[in-house]
Amino acid sequence: MANPATNIDNGLKSSDASRPREPIASPYMPKYPDPMSNISNFKIIESTLREGEQFANAFFDTEKKVEIAKALDAIGVDYLELTSPAASEQSLNDCRVISNLGLKAKILTHTRCHMDDAKLAIDTGVDGLDVVIGTSSYLREFSHGKDMDYITQKAIEVITYIKSKGLEVRFSTEDSFRSDLVDLLSIYKAVDKIGVTRVGIADTVGCANPRQVYELVRTLRSVVSCDIECHFHNDTGCAIANAYAALEAGATHIDTSVLGIGERNGITPLGGLLARMYTADKDYVMNKYDLTQIRDVENIVAESVEVTVPFNNYITGYCAFTHKAGIHAKAILNNPSTYEILNPTDFGMNRYVSIGHRLTGWNAVKNRVEQLNLGLTDDDAKHVTQKIKELADVRPLSLDDVDTLLRTYHQAKDQGLHASILDKIETPDMIAAMNSTPSN
């Protein structure tokens, strides 16, 4: 359990002050690092087995939860968060089972800020509790008065009890971005004072935007000395960017779920956050997490909740590394970093350059000529490219079609017939026919 007192003096307020802050080498980052930023020193609280269970389609039996927990542990996430044992008999049992798996990840369960729930949770063997005030209406509707005092007393009672049992404890509000700021800071200050492990900020409705997040977290960072966890819903498309802004402002922990599954359209997705953080500090991310395992856990979860991995999913979506426009394809073939900030092989994926369409360019076609070892000139490649564009106005060509076109042209050139051979191919279907009846 992190001791919040250790961070008071150095002002860094990070959960791992031992990691030195060196100048950032990434070409995509500001030249000089911000001392408040934790983009090179963050932790992931993986909540597929809690927030993810609130996804419309999710129904995980114990066996499936164990499979998902092990797959997430293989990636190296720092924490797994489980549904409250107060939710149902099986939820209680699952907390026990997963706590006993001996995973590297610490196990948390997410409960209401009640003594009953806390006692039930502690007995399951989890490493910590993420407690939350059960409804946002308290903080929105009651400003400074008996109710705030009552909530604060209740929070202190529950937190003190959990700490007395030697467990981590996080205290969070719901809907923090629509709460009264003074109430919010007051209660966080009170729980920080009694040694809460983390405080949590939650954009429960998905309304927050990055500059707002940065300001709130930065303000909170100067009020509490404990760690700061953030939870962002994605209703308006900012869940990854908000997580990033929170880390820039000094947050230490980000909640994620596999494919982002959760209430409504979900929260910050694990894969998407890792793509974002890889861009910010590749070394930190690659040393800490096994990025090649993302696809496996996504497939397990997608199958279990009966969804298709979105075509445009970060990293694993089937077109994430497909390059099409002629100008992109040309540059990618020369130097992938021109149009690619994620190296597909770091994620166990492959790059694909598409060339059989009307937006193709002759450089990409020339590259294919070289791959096929056909020895055509630049002018040859330009002629064939013109033909591809013409045919692809009718329908896109497969790579097989392009190869057939190139081989046919090459063969004709050997026979001195290449000046006229392309004219004879008038439709994409004619190439397809040549594909199925190879001439040699």
Q: Which of residues 144-183 bind its own copies (CB under 8 A)?
A: 175, 177-178
Q: Which of 90, 152, 160, 411 binds its own copies (CB under 8 A)?
A: 90
Q: Which residues contact 56 (CB under 8 A, 6 or more apart)?
A: none
DSSP string across 207-245 = ---HHHHHHHHHHHHTT--SEEEEEEB-TTS-HHHHHHH
Per CB under 8 A, 33 contacts its own copies: no
Determine which residue in the list 71, 273, 300, 402 makes contact with its own copies, applying CB under 8 A. 273
| Structure tokens that stand for 299 in this block | 């497939």
Q: Within 328-367, which residues bind its own copies (CB under 8 A)?
A: 328, 331, 338-342, 352, 354, 357-359
- Check residue 200 and report its DSSP letter: E
The one among 245, 297, 376, 402 contacting its own copies by CB under 8 A: 245
The Cα 404–Cα 421 span in angstroms is: 12
Q: Does 328 participate in catalysis according to the annotation?
A: yes
Residues between 293 and 322 with contacts to its own copies, criterion CB under 8 A? 307-308, 310-314, 317-322
Given the residues 328, 357, 410, 418, the one annotated as active site? 328
Q: Which of 187, 332 has the CB closer to its own copies?
A: 332
> Which contacts (CB < 8 Å, 24+ apart) does range 9-17 have?
11/35, 12/36, 13/221, 13/225, 13/250, 13/252, 14/38, 14/41, 14/250, 14/252, 15/41, 15/43, 15/227, 15/252, 15/253, 16/41
CA-to-CA distance for 71 and 50, rounded, in angstroms?
16
Residues 180 to 239 in contact with its own copies, rule: CB under 8 A: 204-212, 214, 234-239
Q: Rule CB under 8 A: say whether 395 interacts with its own copies.
A: yes
Q: Is 35 in the site for its own copies (CB under 8 A)?
A: no
Identify each DSSP E strand in 284-339 by its residue range.
322-323
Task: Give min distance, CB of 5 to its own copies, in A.
Answer: 30
Interaction between residue 65 and its own copies (CB under 8 A): no
54 lies in the binding site for its own copies (CB under 8 A): yes
**Residue (48 or 242) nearer to its own copies, CB:** 242
Helix H or strand E encompassing 111: strand 106-112
Among positions 275-294, residues that touch its own copies (CB under 8 A) are 275-276, 278-280
Question: Tokens standing for 311?
Answer: 């075509």
**Residue 435 main-chain phi, psi, to 5 deg:** -55, -45
What crossing angle do the helices spanning 115-122 and 146-164 adopt, rounded to 10°?
20
Q: Which is nearer to its own copies, 6 or 334 (CB)?
A: 334
Residue from 300, 392, 422, 431 that binds its own copies (CB under 8 A)? 392
Q: Which of 10, 59, 115, 219 binds its own copies (CB under 8 A)?
A: 59
Neighbouring-strand partners of residue 323:
353
Q: Quick one: which of 323, 366, 383, 418 contacts its own copies (CB under 8 A)?
A: 323
Among all residues, which ones are annotated catalytic? 328
